[in-house]
Structure 1
Amino acid sequence: MSSIASPTPSRLQLYLQLIRWDRPAGWLLLLWPTLSALWIAADGWPGWHLLSVFTLGTVLMRSAGCCVNDVADRDFDKHVKRTANRPVTSGAVSVKEALGLGALLALASFGLVLTSNPPTILLSFAALAVTLLYPYAKRVLNMPQAVLGVAFSFGIPMAFAAALGGNEWSLAAIQAAVPRSAWALLLANLFWVLAYDTEYAMVDRDDDIRIGIKTSALTLGRFDVAGVMAFYAIYLGSWAALGLRLGLGWIFLAGVAVAAAQVLWHYRLIKDRSREGCFKAFRENHWLGFAVFAGTVLDLAMR
């Protein structure tokens, strides 16, 4: 008895696979620190306009980043079981199509940014440059996740610029709108990205060794689990200290405590370095960011 062939995916289905539409954890990891910064900068509710701009912009830019990443990594991904069937890697979507879709999504995101103010628009060019740089960082840097950390954290200074910026097109305008505390929050958030993307890299450790990719998991070696825990501790400790300096209180700290409890759970997931445990820890990280965001929002609302 002959088997029934599975239907060929439509172009739309392939494009949705390309941008990881079925995996919202990726854009949630970007969204929660960005919205936390937006609430802090606005000292509470930022308004529907800015909330819409940063929420939709985050989804669009993460999707565009997936297109660029899959094109850059197509020759590596075919040697990794988890990524071998990605649309670009398998040839179902051409490089030209993927780059065209990525450009369209980035332009749509830029259109949203144009509704904000000059400091935010200027910062968006730097954010785009880092996004394009990351896929190639793993060829030369022993810890390319640091570059990803900057890319995934750049919504923080942009949120401050959007909430506090004026109408001048200058570096001075950016400096006036984005305080040092915003850049410090970016640096602190970078360590969260190092934590969860090292967990992600631990999933593909054997494949990455074989094909020559550089990752934080390989760089840390047998100290990978300790490194992840240290990154979490730096992130939460720094974010808590900065939040207190910015006027947040005990409700915010309660959110940080909930996030810290999740870190302990993550340790149980990754301590044996199983692929399943490490991947689950990575996938569930957005709840950690949500806990910090919820604490921030509730604290500001209760003033």
Structure 2
Amino acid sequence: MERPGTPSLPDAVKGHWADRWAPAGVRPYLRLARIERPIGWWLLLLPCWWSAALAAIAAGQPWPNPIHCLLFLIGAVAMRGAGCTYNDIVDRDLDTRVERTRQRPLPSGQVSLKGALAFLALQGIVGLLVLLQFNAFAIATGFASLGVVALYPFMKRFFWMPQIVLGLAFAWGALMGWAAAFGFLSWAPILLYLGSIAWVVGYDTIYALQDIEDDEIAGIKSSARFFGENVKLGVGICYALTLVFITAALTLVRAGWPSFAGLSLFALHLGWQVARIDRADGAGALRLFRANRDAGLILFAAMTLDCFI
């Protein structure tokens, strides 16, 4: 049962265990890490898993490295939480001006700034411990992402397409799986990274449709506002680029028919999303955004089947 005094945020999963069963003192910190919104760590994780599967196909392995995949899972949950905590620290004043975000733990006063900073450090330590399990090149590659992560929360103040910077950060895993497997990068993971960036820009544009009116009032820039009435076209272009780059990556590693069959299903899913976009339907936009987890899992499952066959 939901405890009084800690209302769920509008985009949280209804009835999530973090809202129902977590101790009252812990719950605001779980919300700061977006634990009750698992779609975020799924979307951070999937490019890592794609990259691990791409590396396995290239190496002729029967499946993606399971230890790496588990480490990426732990790291995605920790670093997504750390990124959200950092974002909320930076945006704590802006969040008070947007309906969907003003009940977040920091702007609502449920968590102090000092508490948020300590929680950020704790999550960062978990992420570091995960990263240190990989080879030296992968560790360096992981550290290289921090600059982009640090930059993102500030971009919405002056850059009309902050989703591009988010994509640079959220798609970084497309490099990590390959780096962890081989200790270097090549064109295949770079193309996968470019495709993942375009995917992030597309789905986060859909997500931003929820806030378009409040963002205009608060002066927050987003790709949803930038595309305006042409948002379907904008997302469609992003998704088309996603498919072009991922096709090129799979071609370079001589992927088999399961990977391309999975990519076709992935493409159909992305096309369905574009067809269903409605600028006036915030709830529908959230459903479409969340559906990208399933789209990404389809592609990963197909690439894993390709390894096995």
* TM-score when normalising by structure 2: 0.88
2:200 corresponds to which letter in structure 1?
Answer: V
- Pairs aligned (count): 287
Question: Is residue 74 of structure 2 the alignment partner of residue 36 of structure 1?
Answer: no
Q: Secondary structure at the match of 1:140?
A: coil
Once structures 1 and 2 are overlaid, which stretch shifts more, 45-54 or 31-40?
45-54
- CA distance in 2 between counterparts of 1:232 and 1:7 reads 41
Match for residue 67 of structure 1?
85
Residue 280 of structure 1: which of 270, 287, 290 is its match? 287
Residues 188, 250 of structure 2: 8 Å contact kept: no
Q: Which runs of 5+ in 1 are unaligned?
A: 166-176
1:39 corresponds to which letter in structure 2?
Answer: A
Residue 255 of structure 2: which of 227, 231, 248 is its match? 248
1:11-160 maps to which residues of 2 (within 5 A)?
A: 11-43=25-57, 44=61, 45-160=63-178
- CA distance in 2 between counterparts of 1:257 and 1:233 reads 12
Match for residue 206 of structure 1?
213
Q: Which runs of 5+ in 2 are unaligned?
A: 7-22
- CA distance in 1 between counterparts of 2:296 and 2:38 reads 14
- Alpha-carbon spacing, 1:229–1:111, altered in 2? closer, same or farther (3 Å): same
Q: Secondary structure at the match of 2:293?
A: helix
Deviations 1:183-230 (A, max 9, x none): 121111100001000001111111001001111111112211110111
Residues 19, 63 of structure 1: 8 Å contact kept: yes
Q: Secondary structure at the match of 2:107?
A: helix
Deviations 1:261-299 (A, max 9, x none): 222321243145411211211121111111111111111
Question: Is residue 24 of structure 2 the alignment partner of residue 6 of structure 1?
Answer: no
Cα displacement (A) at 1:93: 0.4
- CA distance in 2 between counterparts of 1:6 and 1:143 reads 38
Q: Percent sequence identity over matched residues?
A: 39
- Alpha-carbon spacing, 1:134–1:204, altered in 2? closer, same or farther (3 Å): same
Q: Secondary structure at the match of 2:263?
A: helix
- CA distance in 2 between counterparts of 1:117 and 1:241 reads 27
Cα displacement (A) at 1:134: 0.8
1:82 corresponds to which letter in structure 2?
Answer: R
Cα displacement (A) at 1:253: 1.3
1:160 corresponds to which letter in structure 2?
Answer: W
- CA distance in 2 between counterparts of 1:156 and 1:266 reads 22
Cα displacement (A) at 1:182: 1.3
1:165-184 maps to which residues of 2 (within 5 A)?
A: 165=183, 177-184=184-191
Once structures 1 and 2 are overlaid, which stretch shifts more, 256-265 or 281-290?
256-265
Cα displacement (A) at 1:97: 1.2
2:4 corresponds to which letter in structure 1?
Answer: S
CA RMSD of aligned residues (A): 1.6
